[in-house]
Amino acid sequence: MKRIKMFIAVMLALATLACNAETFLAPSGSPVPSKPFPASTVVVPTPLPASAETQLTAEEALLENLYLRVNAAVVNITVSSGTRDQTTEVGTGSGFVIDKQGHIVTNHHVVVDASALQVTFSDGRIADAKVVGADSYSDLAVVKVDVPESWLIPVELGDSDAVKVGQHVVAIGNPFGLQGSMTQGIVSALGRTLPADQQNTQDTGLFQNPQIIQTDAAINPGNSGGPLLDLRGRVIGVNAAIRTENGVRANSGVGFAIPVNTVRRVAPQLIEKGSVSYAYLGVSVDNNFTTAELAVTLKLPMDYGVLVASVVPNGPADQAGLKGGNKQTRVRGVLVQTGGDLLIAIDGNPIRDFDAMITYLANHTQVGQLITVTILRDGKEQKFQVKLGQRPK
């Protein structure tokens, strides 16, 4: 009796499943189609126009070709520290070949703590490398490998002064040690500044690295020292930093690259003498407000320029007669050093703010050069001859 009841229960279950199924067998054994979906839920893909497909294919081919041409010039740099008998890997970064003599550009902060370096090329070949020069102010370094010329495929350097916001860019590097990774984005902004030598807290904030390129191309730890490229495969910057929150070092869509024109200026000096000389004026400003913000409250005669907060004692500006602030004024609840000279031009070139001043000094002057500084003091324009010194270590 129990077997009969079990059999009946199984048959009822099978019948229920058959009734709920969308497809069943007809008496002849042939399948009967399931009920169609309501017309409102049917998804029909929109055909891609031939012109759009052609454009898409061309863009993909462009990126594929760029990667094939440039990736061979990008290397992975492994940094070790310790003694000759016992070394420990402390980090990795990226770099790119700039000539057939084996010189490779990377970041200063990638190699600063290195006692030994190894370079891995895109085809897996490995070579020892040595630092020939490093510069904390620009966060650039040059390392050298002694390998056959056939290993070396130099990149083409572009012109960072020609870069535009909105321009498409590509980053190639080794994020998290994943060699030969390529990401794409745009130039998000130009003219940013970063504290020089971010890895050295003793110097952070004393000097600024100007004309930094901001990009949303994904940059992560390990990308440092790798190239930021235009779509022709020319280097327009050296990936150096990412914006972090709460100490989390991962891509936030805000990355920064040192402009390639800085590489053009710095790399030859590093190769030739291992260091870089920077012209030095010897003035400081209050970083809490721009001159435009201070102009209304302080009733400045101009809403641009560099309001000198202080001059370095016995520095070039001090020796020439420039003056810093002599009083403190509260602006939006913050005490600001005021009463100093308002620097508005160098050699007749208008200077809008402090970033513009350091950019001009870095790009257009050299140690020992005599420049003409135009300032406003007590509402009157004055000119001073200043002999630039060398930026102190």
Annotated catalytic sites, by residue? 109, 139, 224
Q: What is the 3-state secondary structure (H, E, C) of the chain?
A: CHHHHHHHHHHHHHHHHHHHCCCEECCCCCEECCCCCCHHHCCCCCCCCHHHHHHHHHHHHHHHHHHHHHHHHEEEEEEEEECCCCEEEEEEEEEEECCCCCEEEECHHHHCCCCEEEEECCCCCEEEEEEEEEECCCCEEEEEECCCHHHCCCCEECCHHHCCCCCEEEEEECHHHCCCEEEEEEEEEEEEEEECCCCCCCCECCEEEEEEEEECCCCCCCCCCCEEEECCCEEEEEEEEECCECCECCCCCCEEEEEHHHHHHHHHHHHHHCCCCCEECCEECCCCCCHHHHHHHHCCCCCCCEECCEECCCCHHHHHCCCCCCEEEEECCEEEEECCCEEEEECCEECCCHHHHHHHHHHHCCCCCEEEEEEEECCEEEEEEEECEECCC
What whole-number distance in Å separates Cα of residue 366 and Cα of residue 389?
Answer: 8
